[in-house]
Structure 1
Amino acid sequence: MSQAFDLADVKRRMQGAMATLKHEFGGLRTGRASASLVEPVHVDAYGQSTPLNQVATISIPESRMISVQVWDKALVGAVDRAIRDANLGLSPVIEGQTLRIRTPELNEQRRKELVKVAHKYAEEARVAVRHVRRDGLDVLKRLLKDHAIPEDDEKRHEQEVQKATDDTIREIDALLGGKEKEIMQV
């Protein structure tokens, strides 16, 4: 017997994409330093991609400064490179095993860059939601092919999956609109 169709699981996975987007948007700070700004950064450490918070301690010593204390001296260069390559507009200054990152004033150009990053995050979330939709529709097609559900049920479930997808994409767009306003607000 093949797997059963679970609309609640499809919706839960779509909400997972939303939660990830909210977390990433949390890192797009407007003028103030925040540890979540550098949390999405991955470092090439020990031959694999490792989240920054697994190779260093991130702290905020003052409102516009992020301090990254790297645990392994050999990784300081890799952490510096990863932060610079993350397209966050940040330039770390290395002091021993500590990287000091001053968050730049948000001028018009910087705000536009942050909006582009927000759009990129939103598009990644939309793609994730579409992947969940595709997975759900694949399960339905398999069930129909195996004669586990009638065609009417398959069509009804297909419409439910599409509605959940549309609703989640609308939520993503609303979240993006709000974040864009917040970033562009002077």
Structure 2
Amino acid sequence: MIADVKKNAEQKMLKSVENLKANLAKVRTGRAHAGLLDHVMVDYYGNPTPINQVASVGLMDARTLSVSPFEKKMAAAIEKAIRDSDLGLNPASMGDVVRVPMPALTEERRKDLIKVVRGEAEDSRVAVRNVRRDANEQLKKGVKDKLVSEDEERRASDDIQKLTDKAIAEIDKQLADKEKELLTV
């Protein structure tokens, strides 16, 4: 039972850290990267479809993305989807390729993005702590039901705390890296 509780807690904590990484990747810095448009959905014959399934996304240069639709008539729909997304980008069609220039970030916008990133990190920390709390409650229930001794429960709680510390350290590292990236002009 203890091994299951630890394994389950570790998997959930890793999932929280991975989720934070994915959310931080969506936060736009001044540089262009192909993963920026991954969550943009395009209306493909009435069905919302991820942009990377209807077009290839690449880099023209450090500040410009190029989106090449697999079907030429999809260029207008792709352009509209990018414009309507929450990224604040203004795409432009050049024949059958959609160019997406990255506007430079102002100092004020950088500070706003840092606040957003810190909020995401705090949400991840809370998720990890909730996993720890749930695991500890399961262990206490095991002691109450006489499935686990108190010594085993104490050792398992210490192990879960170590997992929690490790996950939170990883979250803090991700946050520091993203803040550094945002502040780089």
Q: Is the 8 A contact 1:38 1:83 kept in 2?
A: no
Give, in whole Å, the separation in 2 of the partners of 1:169 and 1:68: 37
Q: Greater Rg, structure 1 or structure 2?
A: 2
Q: CA deviation at 1:65?
A: 1.0
Aligned residue number for residue 66 of structure 1: 65
Deviations 1:25-66 (A, max 9, x none): 345464321112222x24275787754423432111222111
Q: CA deviation at 1:16?
A: 3.7
Instruction: Name the Cα RMSD after superposition.
Output: 3.6
Give the unaligned 5+ runs of structure 1.
none
Aligned residue number for residue 31 of structure 1: 30
Counterpart of 2:155, as a letter, is R
Q: Is the 8 A contact 2:79 2:93 kept in 1?
A: no
Change in CA separation of 1:182 and 1:61 when aligned onto 2, cut-off 3 Å: closer
Q: Matched residues, percent identical?
A: 39
Counterpart of 1:164, as a letter, is L
Give the unaligned 5+ runs of structure 2.
none
Deviations 1:64-100 (A, max 9, x none): 11123344657954774466433x3323335677542
Aligned residue number for residue 11 of structure 1: 10
**Greater shift in the superposed pair: 73-82 or 123-132:** 73-82
Give, in whole Å, the separation in 1 of the partners of 2:158 and 2:47: 41
**Greater shift in the superposed pair: 6-15 or 45-54:** 45-54
Aligned residue number for residue 85 of structure 2: 85
State yes or no: 1:176 paired with 2:172: no
Q: CA deviation at 1:172?
A: 1.5
Map 1:93-112 to 2 at 5 A: 93-94=92-93, 98-112=97-111
Change in CA separation of 1:94 and 1:34 when aligned onto 2, cut-off 3 Å: same
Aligned residue number for residue 139 of structure 2: 140
Map 1:44-63 to 2 at 5 A: 51-63=50-62
Q: CA deviation at 1:116?
A: 3.1
Q: TM-score, normalised by structure 2?
A: 0.71
Q: CA deviation at 1:102?
A: 0.6
Give, in whole Å, the separation in 2 of the partners of 1:37 and 1:16: 21
Q: Is the 8 A contact 2:42 2:77 kept in 1?
A: no
Give, in whole Å, the separation in 2 of the partners of 1:135 and 1:19: 20
Number of corresponding residues: 183
